[in-house]
Amino acid sequence: MDVEDAVRTEIERWGRPIAVHRAVHGTEDPSLIADQVVVWCHRVLGQGVAEATFHVVSAGSVTGVVLDDGSTVVIKAYQPHCTSRFLSAVVSTQRGLASAGVPCASPIAGPEPLGAGLATAEEHLDDPGQPSEFGPAEMEASARGLCALVGAAPWSEGLRGHPMQSGPPDALYPPPHSPEFDFESTAAGAEWIDALATKALPRLGVGPEVVAHSDWSARNVRLSAAGVRAIYDMDSLSIVPLSMALANGATTWRSTGEAGDDAAPDVDDVEAWLTAWPMPLDTDVRASAYASVVYQLAYTSRCEHAIDPREDLHRRARPTLRRDGAELLRRAGLDP
């Protein structure tokens, strides 16, 4: 199929115009989006596009293409808040990780202008698929895999202040990662979520700073009982406190991000993931990780609430936060 057909297929899957298309490309017109990708490949890669292999939208706009020389690459186009400094740091760090044997794609080019923002190109990394189950062995592989990435990641100051983690200093949450989520207009009914997030704030951010993948979820990481098989979405690399990286892994490691996703890990599951972390964790870092679990569940709950206030389809974070929020705060050493 050509790029335009691939874009139309993704719009059909969503069943409506995609706000991220406008944010990234400045348009929702499939033909114009396709033109931007094709022109970018000519200008940056020096190749025409023979066909498209896929097009998907999440926080960015991602298109797989076969170039005229037969090579298969992935073009990742970003919202304007992703700066050249940040994306250049991602490319550099990702290249270092790939060279060190971490199972991620090798960057090819970029960042270079595309649409309303910037884009990069990377080699296509085959998707080995999800494991048959998310059991204890896969959970341990998740914890060990993130620890290995943290240990191998080259340091780059450009990864500090990830665009999706930055916002007004007095805001409870960073700006939502997609324009699909409007926290302000959907605040009614989410007061209980915000109250738990607020209680977690005093204990956030403990531990040494590390370079980590800050969306260590099944959407982006392919696991097996033997270990991590593939890692995607490397623009989630960021400098974060260790406790935040731990919480993200423990909270999201089996989440695919799709409607109908299984409930987030409960208190005992979080404890098991933290126990599987292969390096010693001191008491303060572990406590802060529990606070970060509450905060991350609250952020995801607000995203769910923004598009599905009745919990008809998106029920991953809210049931766990509602049931376990108080106990998670207690384990963080906070008053629930």
Would you say residue 165 has pLDDT above 70?
Answer: no
- The pLDDT tens digits for 91-126 are 999 999 999 999 999 999 999 999 999 999 999 999
What does the pLDDT average to over 60-76? 97
- The pLDDT tens digits for 205-223 are 999 999 999 999 999 999 9
Q: Where are the domains of the chain?
A: 3-123, 136-331
What's the distance, CA 254 to chain centroid?
13
Considering the four listed CATH numbers 2.160.10.10, 3.30.200.20, 2.40.340.10, 1.10.10.10, the one that applies to the domain covering 3-123 is 3.30.200.20
Looking at domain 136-331, which CATH architecture does it have? Alpha-Beta Complex (3.90)
Q: What is the pLDDT of residue 161?
A: 79
The model scores a pTM over 0.75: yes
- For 72-99, letters b (16+ CB in 10 Å) and e give ebbbbbbbeebbeebbbbbbbbbbbbbe
Query: pLDDT category, 164, cuts 50, 70, 90?
Result: low
- For 282-317, letters b (16+ CB in 10 Å) and e give eeebbbbbbbbbbbbbbbbbbbbbbeeeeeeebbbb
For CA atoms 230, 236, 241, 245, the dihedral sign is: negative
φ, ψ dihedrals at 198, nearest 5°: -65, -40
Q: How far is CA 63 from CA 38, 53, 59, 123, in A?
A: 10, 8, 13, 12
Contacts of 268 (CB under 8 A, 6+ apart): none
3-state class (DSSP) for residue 43: helix
